[in-house]
Structure 1
C-alpha cells in the first residue's frame, strides 16, 4: 500500500485516472493460458527460418490461420502485407486484421469492437503483432475507458486455449504489463529517471505481471534503461531480447532463445539503492546472458545450456584471458555482452564499463560507471562448435560519476 500511496502522490489527477483504467484493462488474465509467446527483439529478417517456422509450428503447422495486426505500424497496409508474405512462405494461412491508428479510411475504434471481425480473429490459431510504435497497439485495442475491446478479448481467447501470440519490436514491448512508451535515450533515462504515462505505460501483459520485457536490446544498449524502469515498478525479473532473435515462452513459463543472438536476464531481487544519493545508483543486480539455444525456467529459476554448450562449463581456475577488462562505451552496440564474455573467461574478478554523453560537450556532465563482478554464483558456458558464451549471475553495480567536459588534447 505504501508503494501505491507514493505513486498516487507522483501522478496528477488526470494521469491517475488514465493509469488506473488502463492498468486494469491490461492486467494479466487470471486463467493460466495454454498458449505460447514468441517475443522478437525487432529487425526480424525474412530468411530467419528459426523464428518464422517456430511461429507457424506453434500455431499448428502448415495451413495455420494467423491474424496479423499491423496496429503499431506507420504504414499498416504495407507492413501487414509484408508479414503475410513471410508467413505464407513458411506455410501459414495468414490474414490482415484492419485495426490500426494509421490505417487510411478506417475508424480503428469501430473496427476493434466489430464483433464479426473479432469472431474471425477468435477462430485463428495465432496472432502476429507488427513493429512500429507500441503506443498505437494499446491505443487501438483498449477502449478510452480502459476496458478491453472485442478484438483484444479475442486475442486473449486464442492465447488461453493454446494458440501463439508473436510480436516484433513494438509487438514485443506490449508483452509485459509495463512497457516503454515515449522513452528518452538510454543515458537520459539514467540521468533523469522514468515517469509513468510518459516514459513507461501499461502493456498488454501476456507474459504476466512479474516479468518486464524490452527489445532491440544489445544493439541499442537498452539493458541499462530496463533497470530504473524495473525498480520504479517493482519488477524483480526482466528479459531483454536482441534484434533478429526471439524468446519463446511456453505455458510452463519455460523460455527458449532462438534466432541470431540472445537475451539478457536481469534479476533485481537482491538489488539495493542509496536513497540519499542525488543521481541514479543501484547495487547487486544479477545479470546473465542467455545465448541462442539456451533455456530458462521463470517459475523455477533454472537454466539449461544449449546442446552445444552442455559439456562446455568453464573452469574458473583456467581462464583464457589475462589483464584488465573494460569498455569506454558500455551502451554501445553489443558492448555489454562483449565485456561479460571477456570477464567470465578472464583472470580478473571485475570489469568496468563507462556510459557518458557527447565528448564534444562544453560542460561537465553526469555519467555512470558500470562495475561487473564475478561471484561464487557466476558461471560461464562455452560452445564446443563456435566461440559463443552463455553467462550466468555476474554482479552489476551502477554509480554516477562526473565526466569532465570539454575533453582536452594532450600537450607535449
Structure 2
C-alpha cells in the first residue's frame, strides 16, 4: 500500500477517536448565517489577498484512463514527475474504489497521489472532525494538485462548505490553488467549479420549463473558475446547453462553458484551453435578450462558440485562438471568395437536446450555404396532468456577420471549430396527441 494512503487512513481513524473537547480546539468560529445564493458573491473559502496563480482543470466527465492529453497535462501543470496530488472521492458512491483508480492513473504518469478519506459514504469517518484534522490539512497544504472525483456534487458542497460556511479543509484547498497548484474535477467534481452550480437537475426540459429552485436544482458551488463564469459537464452528450441558458439568465451570468465528456478545459485567469478527446461550448449572453411578457423561458441572440481540442479562448478579450491544426485547415466564412460549403440542404432537428445535436447543427451550419437551421425540443412522455405538459421549445440557429469556422481532417476525422453562431429559443405549444393513426380514405 502507498505509505501516504496508509497514513491517511490512520489519521482519519485517530480523528474519529478524538474527544469532543479536543475537536473544539481545532474548529474555527462559524459565521452566523450562510450567504445568499447569487452569482458574483465571493467563492466560499477563497483566499482573496492576491491573484490566483493556479489552474482550474474542468473535466466534462467519463474521462478515460488512456486519455494522455488530459492525464499528462495534469501532471505537467502541477510540476511534472514527483508532484504531489491529493485525491478526494467525496462525491462517489464508492469513494475508496474511485479515489484509488484516480490515484493509480496519476501515478502512472509520474505523480505521487494520496487519498484523503473524507466522504459521506465512508461511514467510519466523522466528517466534521475530518475537515479540521491537522494531519489531513497538512497533506492538502503540501500538495501541488487536488482532484475531485465524479459522483453527486452535493456531497462535495455539503462536506466542504455546509450551509455556505467554508471548512478549514476547503480553505487549505484554496491555499493550494492560490499558490499555483492545480484544482481538477471530473463530472460532479467539475460541477462545483462555479460559484453557482446545478445540484440536482437531471431533466434539461424541466429546467427550461421553470424548475430552478435554490437548494434543489441549484446550489452554491466552490467557485474555482471565478464569479463571472458558469461551467457545466457531460455537456454536449446530454444536451445541457438547454439547462445552462435559464440558469445563466436567472443568476446574471454572461459567460458559460460546457465541457463534453472525456474532455477538459484548463482555466487560468481569463485564458481557457480545451484538451482531451472532444471540445466545449462557450455561451455568451452579453447581447442576448428575453421577453418577460411571454410567460415562459425564451431568449434571442445567444452567441454560441464551439471550441475543439487544442483551441484557446480569452474570456476577457472575447477572442478565439484556433489550434494550429485548424489554422492549417480550411477557414469557413460565408461571403468570402474561398468559401465552398459542404452542406446544401436546409436542416431541421427534431430533438435539439439530443446527444451532440447542438454541435452537429453548428458544424453543419457553418459549412453550409444556408444561413439558419431550426429544431424542436419537447417531452413526449409528459403526463397530461402536468401543468405544462404541452410546453415545448423551438430553436433557431443562425449566422451573423461575425460567424466563422475552421475545418480540419488532419487527424482522420471531420473536426470543426465554430465561432459566433446565434441562437433564439421560443416556447411553443405541442399538440396532444401529436399524431393519430393513418387511415386510407
TM-score by length of 1: 0.92
Whether the 8 Å contact between 2:37 and 2:220 is mirrored in structure 1 is no
Indicate yes or no: 2:376 matched with 1:354. yes
Aligned to 1:307: 324
Bigger CA radius of gyration: 2
Indicate yes or no: 2:94 matched with 1:69. no
Whether the 8 Å contact between 1:327 and 1:352 is mirrored in structure 2 is yes
Indicate yes or no: 2:439 matched with 1:411. yes
Aligned to 2:5: none
SS of 2:159's partner is helix
> Once the 2 structures are TM-superposed, how far is the Cα of residue 97 of structure 1 from its aligned partner?
0.9
Indicate yes or no: 2:214 matched with 1:214. no
Mean Cα displacement is larger for which, 147-156 or 262-271?
147-156
Aligned to 2:241: 223
Q: State how many pairs are aligned.
A: 395
Indicate yes or no: 2:193 matched with 1:175. yes
SS of 1:378's partner is strand
> Once the 2 structures are TM-superposed, how far is the Cα of residue 27 of structure 1 from its aligned partner?
7.0
Aligned to 1:20: 36
Rate the CA distance shift 1:351–1:118 in 2: closer, same or farther, 3 A. Answer: same
Aligned to 1:393: 420
Indicate yes or no: 2:405 matched with 1:380. yes
Of the three residues 24, 28, 42, the one matched with 2:61 is 42
Indicate yes or no: 2:154 matched with 1:132. no
Whether the 8 Å contact between 2:257 and 2:282 is mirrored in structure 1 is yes
Whether the 8 Å contact between 1:28 and 1:208 is mirrored in structure 2 is no
Aligned to 2:341: 319
CA distance in 1, matches of 2:300, 2:114: 48
In structure 2, stretches of 5+ residues that fail to align are 1-31
> Once the 2 structures are TM-superposed, how far is the Cα of residue 202 of structure 1 from its aligned partner?
0.8
Whether the 8 Å contact between 1:24 and 1:147 is mirrored in structure 2 is no
Mean Cα displacement is larger for which, 309-318 or 332-341?
309-318
CA distance in 2, matches of 1:199, 1:153: 26
Q: How does 1:137-216 map to 2 (within 5 A)?
A: 137-144=156-163, 146-216=164-234
CA distance in 2, matches of 1:359, 1:113: 47
Indicate yes or no: 2:73 matched with 1:54. yes
* Cα shift readout 1:212-270 (whole Å, capped 9, x = no counterpart): 000000110001100000001000000000000000112x4211111111000000011
> Once the 2 structures are TM-superposed, how far is the Cα of residue 21 of structure 1 from its aligned partner?
8.5
* Cα shift readout 1:151-186 (whole Å, capped 9, x = no counterpart): 111111111111111100011011110000121400
4+ aligned runs moved over 2 Å, structure 1: 16-25, 27-31, 359-364, 409-412
> Once the 2 structures are TM-superposed, how far is the Cα of residue 192 of structure 1 from its aligned partner?
2.3
Rate the CA distance shift 1:379–1:24 in 2: closer, same or farther, 3 A. Answer: closer
SS of 2:359's partner is helix
Whether the 8 Å contact between 2:43 and 2:227 is mirrored in structure 1 is no
CA distance in 2, matches of 1:193, 1:276: 18
Rate the CA distance shift 1:193–1:271 in 2: closer, same or farther, 3 A. Answer: farther
Whether the 8 Å contact between 1:240 and 1:263 is mirrored in structure 2 is yes
> Once the 2 structures are TM-superposed, how far is the Cα of residue 58 of structure 1 from its aligned partner?
0.8
Rate the CA distance shift 1:63–1:328 in 2: closer, same or farther, 3 A. Answer: same
In structure 1, stretches of 5+ residues that fail to align are 1-15
TM-score by length of 2: 0.86
Whether the 8 Å contact between 2:37 and 2:214 is mirrored in structure 1 is no
Aligned to 1:336: 358
Aligned to 2:8: none
* Cα shift readout 1:119-138 (whole Å, capped 9, x = no counterpart): 11111111000001111111
